[in-house]
Structure 1
Amino acid sequence: MAAPHQVARAAHRGPSVVKEIVYGITLGISAGLLWKMHHWNYQRRTKEFYDLLERGEISVVVEDE
């Protein structure tokens, strides 16, 4: 059985530098991927808008009635 002071020392270890780096890299890549997906979606919608505008299916001018 472990002595009480050894158990207490194991419970009060400091943060693991490697774990912190891995967590930071993972969060950074995840946030970057979400931002890139948002950008791709916005780019796709803009391209679709200009394609429809060029084909004449939509117009940005309000028609007089």
Structure 2
Amino acid sequence: MAAGRVAHVTLQGPSVVKEILTGMGLALFAGSFWKMHQWNEQRKVRAFYDLLEKGEISVVVDEE
């Protein structure tokens, strides 16, 4: 009986290029969501100040 050879996977260190590209991809993905959030908030603030300037809304409570 001949002993069979089993091919073992050798563990290698992390691929630096793959790590950098993965990090950049995740950063762009998260950054785009953050930027969309900031644009949405900016739009809300501009709409508020436009309505305030037109006199359609007021920040002063009316006394009854």
Question: Structure 2: 5+ residue runs without aligned partners?
Answer: none
- TM-score w.r.t. length of structure 1: 0.79
Please give the per-residue CA displacement for 1:3-62, whole angstroms capped at 9, x wherever unaligned. 43x4332xx122111110111001111121111111101110000001111111100000
| Aligned-pair Cα RMSD in Å | 1.3
**Segments of 4+ in structure 1 off by > 3 A?**
none
**Larger radius of gyration between Structure 1 and Structure 2:** 2
Q: Report the TM-score when normalising by structure 2.
A: 0.80
Q: Distance in 1 between matches of 2:12 and 2:53?
A: 64
Distance in 1 (alpha carbons) for counterparts of 2:23 and 2:9: 28
Structure 1 gap ranges (5+): none
1:38 is matched by which residue type in structure 2?
Answer: H
Corresponding residue for residue 34 of structure 2: 35
